[in-house]
Homo-oligomer: A and B are copies of this chain.
Amino acid sequence: MYANGITLIFESTNVRKNMSIKQIAKIAGVSTATVSRVLNGSDKVKNETIEQVQKVAKKLNYQRNNVARRMKVKATESLIFGLVVSDINNPFFADIARGVEEFAYAKEHVIFICNTNESTEKEIFFLNSMISEKVSGVIIAPTAGNYQLFDKLVSDRLPLVLIDRLKNSFPFDTVSINNEKGAFLAVQRLIQNGHKRIGIINGIKGLSNSEARFRGYKNALGEAGLPLIKELITYGHFREAGGREAMKKLLDLKKPPTAVFSANNLMTLGCIKEIHEQNLSIPDQIALIGFDDSTWAEALTPPLTTVKQPGYELGVNAAELLYKRLKNKDSNIMNVVLNPELIIRDSCGTNRKSS
């Protein structure tokens, strides 16, 4: 009797091992089909039965096995979104993740986050894993290149939303920032503040966002009749160390720029460290505007002028787009473009009123 008692307690709590719709059916005296109907709120079950089943389920602390569920249900109803970002340490992507998650949570979806660190190899592994896990769809900031993979994804009909970085030739929904405009605004501001030799530290060649930011830089110079000077165009691969190196290269020039536009927050940090190392003052000796606002931008001395990207909103929008796509497979492809905002602080020079 004592032993029995113990066994009972053990079994009843060990939810992870057993506990299926079958147990509930047996105890409630109905079929598994009915239990399933009750639990999924489908029609045509007598109120009395509903109550009875729910009571048993609650008492047994039943929890649906989603793995089994996904075997039957269409992938579009798996209640899982995948999110593939390229650098989770970048606050911009952390914001995006928060946005996606917020939306997903509201819809009782769960998300799979993977971080490629710009590695195409990882990207392939993660996407394959997601397919293999039958996620409903994926939101992804793709690495550079990798076009065969995306070809395959198209033919596999995996619902996909591209974020931040676009791949024009593919029929995917997208949410991106108007990078060209953001860069334009930044460089235009530097020009307004009297700068004529303006350097750029760009991200990764071949990524749409880098290219758009470069166009914005070029256009702003062009509009002001300033020449595009080759030695002032550098790349920092979206990494802090890269930004620092690029800044060093620019400062080491015979005729260094008087202002620099840095194409993301990590590189900007590298810039600042190099500038401090060389004991130069911002903005007098070197003016600076960075892409991506960050919580710390305001705390710097001087506070950093930045192009603020709405990361959180981007995430929410992407999740919403994916959600809609799943509801309606054949609706038109949507390309959402969000506007960046120039947050003017002190790092770009003194002419703050003229805007």
Residues of A within 8 A of B (CB): 13-17, 61, 63-68, 70-71, 75, 80, 88-89, 91, 94-95, 97-98, 101, 105, 108, 110-115, 117, 122, 125-126, 128-129, 131-134, 152, 155-158, 240, 266, 269, 272-273, 276, 294-296, 298-301
Contacts and interface: CB of A to CB of B under 8 A. Distances in A.
A287 B97 CA distance: 35
Which 7 residue pairs are nearest across A and B when measured between Cβ atoms?
Answer: A301-B301, A13-B155, A113-B113, A296-B296, A66-B132, A16-B156, A272-B299
A118 to B, nearest CB: 13
Contacts of A131: 15-16, 63
A129 B125 CA distance: 23
Given A13-B156, A61-B152, A296-B300, 11 more contacts: A15-B131, A15-B156, A66-B133, A68-B71, A71-B71, A101-B114, A101-B115, A105-B125, A113-B113, A269-B299, A273-B299
Contact of A134 (B65, B95, B114, B128): B65
B98 A63 contact: no
How many identical subunits does the complex contain?
Answer: 2
A147 to B, nearest CB: 16
A295 B301 CA distance: 15
Contacts of A108: 125
16 contacts: A15-B156, A61-B152, A64-B132, A65-B132, A66-B129, A67-B67, A67-B70, A88-B94, A88-B101, A94-B94, A97-B115, A101-B114, A110-B126, A266-B295, A276-B299, A296-B296
Given A296-B294, A299-B269, A299-B300, A16 B98 contact: no
A67 B134 contact: yes
Residue among A108, A110, A294 with the highest chain B CB neighbour number at 10 A: A110
A89 B13 CA distance: 36
A320 B75 CA distance: 32
A133 B158 CA distance: 21
A14 B155 contact: yes
Nearest to A112: B112
Contacts of A126: 110
A65 to B, nearest CB: 6
Contacts of A111: 112-114
A109 B154 CA distance: 25
A188 to B, nearest CB: 25
